């Protein structure tokens, strides 16, 4: 966020809405108690942060010996905990921070629910996410049935863009302007930056097809992400495309709003280290702040049993359940730029 931009805190949710928020929090905790998943309180201040190029962290400096980052997720600490106590299922319901502008579906400070389940593959974990959403939805007065669509990342491009993401001959900048011919010129993206052109196609073309009328309770689960978007997920051969590996990762959209991101964890520390090194190189190429590798996390990876994890934006979920157009209406206080 631009250093010249200032934030003003405003009062948002009414007392009746905050009462519902407290009830939803209680239902989440009951959900995990029933499944023997332990709540863990994780640090807000940390020495390390996410390395990927599309996560903007907020740094802090209280003194010369007390510096670091506000955490973008509880991931590192939760993994360190299950490395110490293998096969323990855990979750965290906590504040996290991203250096992005306030908007109707985002605040620089927001609430995240993240949990880890041993013995679950990504399908089982995505089903559990849907079960939790259904329980919270039924707490609302309008108990509409949830409608579920599951589609692979590759199929999304084929269906909505008409191209295969695995076709190396495609010029993705040209594809983008084919769909966005009346849009302003994109500044600062190189002609050969295929990853970012595909990301723009995803956010500005494909995701619009997931959007439905708020309150329609439509869930879309996208799976089989390409290797360059694997994050920390396991890779496996594509079931439909030869000589291609896909990530055992999913993202869940609720009425078109991106809500949850999960995967089967890659428990090879060498793989994760290489991914972080690649992230750091990409950040340098994009002239972004360089982050150090989270060595405590790397050290924990090899001690982890097979596990799947997922993170969910709670403010977005509560807004969708209550048919509110902005997450600001679910928060006691929200920020806006001045």
CATH assignment at residue 12: 3.30.930.10
Give SS3 for 213: coil
Structure confidence at residue 233 (pLDDT)? 97
Please report whether residue 1 resides in a domain: no
Structure confidence at residue 256 (pLDDT)? 94
- Number of folded domains that form the chain: 1
Question: At 141, is the pLDDT very low, low, confident or very high (cuts 50, 70, 90)?
Answer: low
Please report whether residue 211 resides in a domain: yes
Tens-digit pLDDT profile for residues 272-290? 999 999 999 999 998 999 8
Work out the angle at residue 95's Cα, subtended by the Cα atoms of residues 317 and 3, and round it to the nearest 5 degrees: 105
The domain of 173 spans 7-337
- The answer, yes or no, to whether residue 143 has pLDDT greater than 70, is no
Tens-digit pLDDT profile for residues 20-78? 999 999 999 999 999 999 999 999 999 999 999 989 999 999 877 788 999 999 999 99
Please report whether residue 64 resides in a domain: yes
- The answer, yes or no, to whether residue 100 has pLDDT greater than 80, is yes
Please report whether residue 91 resides in a domain: yes
Q: For residue 47, is it left (φ>0), alpha (ψ between -120 and 50) or beta?
A: alpha
Measure CA 77 to chain center.
Answer: 17
User: Tokens 């949990």 correspond to what residue?
Assistant: 115
Instruction: Tokens for 62, please give them.
Output: 């209280």
- The answer, yes or no, to whether residue 145 has pLDDT greater than 70, is yes
Please report whether residue 273 resides in a domain: yes
Largest CA distance in the chain: 56
Higher pLDDT, 142 or 21: 21
Please report whether residue 2 resides in a domain: no
Tens-digit pLDDT profile for residues 255-264? 999 999 999 9
Residues forming a β-bridge with 1: none
Question: How large is the average pLDDT for residues 165-184?
Answer: 90
- The answer, yes or no, to whether residue 3 has pLDDT greater than 70, is no
Give me the sheet containing 45-46, strands edge to edge: 45-46, 66-70, 58-63
Give SS3 for 7: strand
Question: How large is the average pLDDT for residues 292-296?
Answer: 96
Tens-digit pLDDT profile for residues 189-237? 888 999 999 999 999 999 999 988 766 889 999 999 999 999 999 999 9
Instruction: Tokens for 52, please give them.
Output: 């990927």
- The answer, yes or no, to whether residue 155 has pLDDT greater than 90, is yes
pTM value?
0.94
Please report whether residue 237 resides in a domain: yes
List the beta strands (DSSP E) in 37-187.
38-39, 45-46, 58-63, 66-70, 90-97, 109-118, 147-152
Please report whether residue 62 resides in a domain: yes
- The answer, yes or no, to whether residue 267 has pLDDT greater than 90, is yes
Cα-only R_g, the chain? 20
Instruction: Tokens for 317, please give them.
Output: 């979920």
């Amino acid at each position: 966020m631009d250093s010249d931009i200032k934030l003003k805190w405003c009062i948002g949710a009414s007392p009746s809405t905050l009462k519902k928020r407290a009830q939803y929090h209680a239902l989440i905790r009951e959900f995990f108690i029933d499944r023997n998943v332990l709540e863990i309180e994780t640090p807000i201040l940390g020495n390390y942060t996410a390395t990927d190029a599309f996560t903007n962290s907020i740094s802090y400096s209280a003194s010369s010996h007390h510096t670091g980052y506000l955490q973008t997720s509880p991931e590192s600490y939760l993994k360190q905990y299950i490395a110490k106590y293998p096969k323990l299922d855990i979750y965290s319901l906590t504040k996290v921070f991203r250096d992005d502008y306030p908007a109707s579906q985002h605040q620089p400070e927001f609430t995240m629910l993240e949990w880890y389940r041993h013995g679950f593959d990504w399908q089982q974990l995505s089903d559990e996410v849907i079960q939790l959403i259904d329980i919270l939805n039924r707490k609302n007065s309008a108990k509409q049935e949830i409608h579920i669509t599951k589609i692979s990342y590759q199929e999304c491009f084929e269906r909505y863009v008409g191209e295969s993401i695995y076709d190396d001959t495609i010029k993705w900048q040209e594809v983008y302007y084919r769909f966005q011919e009346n849009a302003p010129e994109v500044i600062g993206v190189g002609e050969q930056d295929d990853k970012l052109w595909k990301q723009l196609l995803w956010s500005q073309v494909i995701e619009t097809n997931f959007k439905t009328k708020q309150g329609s309770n439509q869930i879309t689960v996208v799976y089989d992400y390409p290797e360059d978007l694997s994050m920390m997920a396991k890779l496996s051969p594509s079931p439909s495309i030869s000589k291609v590996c896909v990530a055992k990762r999913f993202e869940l959209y609720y009425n078109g709003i991106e809500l949850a991101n999960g995967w089967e964890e890659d428990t090879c520390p060498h793989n994760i280290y290489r991914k972080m090194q690649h992230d750091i190189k990409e950040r340098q190429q994009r002239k972004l702040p360089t982050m150090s590798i989270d060595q405590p996390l790397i050290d924990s990876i090899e001690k982890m049993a097979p596990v799947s994890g997922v993170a969910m934006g709670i403010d977005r979920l509560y807004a969708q359940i209550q048919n509110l157009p902005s997450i600001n209406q679910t928060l006691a206080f929200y920020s806006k730029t001045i």
